[in-house]
Amino acid sequence: MILTLFLQQEGQGLQSILMFGLLLVVMYFFFFRPQIKKQKEEGKFQTEITKGMRIVTSSGIHGKILEVQDKHIIIESENTRLKLEKSAISRELSAQYLPKKEETK
């Protein structure tokens, strides 16, 4: 009788370990992996920043990059110059302001 109770508890222990492992795998693919990918893309974008790009900061300020330094940038927004960290840049808007190229046949 004691042996059957012990064997039943071992099966439940193995099942709970497998469920915990499955939970960790699901969390990795749905939470951690996309976040790591997004951080890599942001890091690549921040290294490719050039003078003249139109950008939006994480706080919502729109501007044009005037100078690029190692860790800082200087942007112009509404005739005002601001010195910001590169990490404050959220995205680029240059594509919105450039005229569309017409296809030639």
In the chain (105 residues long), the average pLDDT of successive 10-residue segments reads 54 77 90 91 86 90 92 92 90 67 51
CATH topology of domain 49-98: SH3 type barrels. (2.30.30)
Report d(CA 43, CA 65) in Å as an integer. 18
Sheet holding 89-92, edge to edge: 80-85, 72-77, 62-68, 54-57, 89-92
What's the pLDDT score for residue 97? 58
- Residue at token pair 């959220």: 90
Give, in order, the Cα–Cα distances in Å from 104 to each of 10, 96, 99, 101. Answer: 72, 21, 15, 9
What's the pLDDT score for residue 18? 85
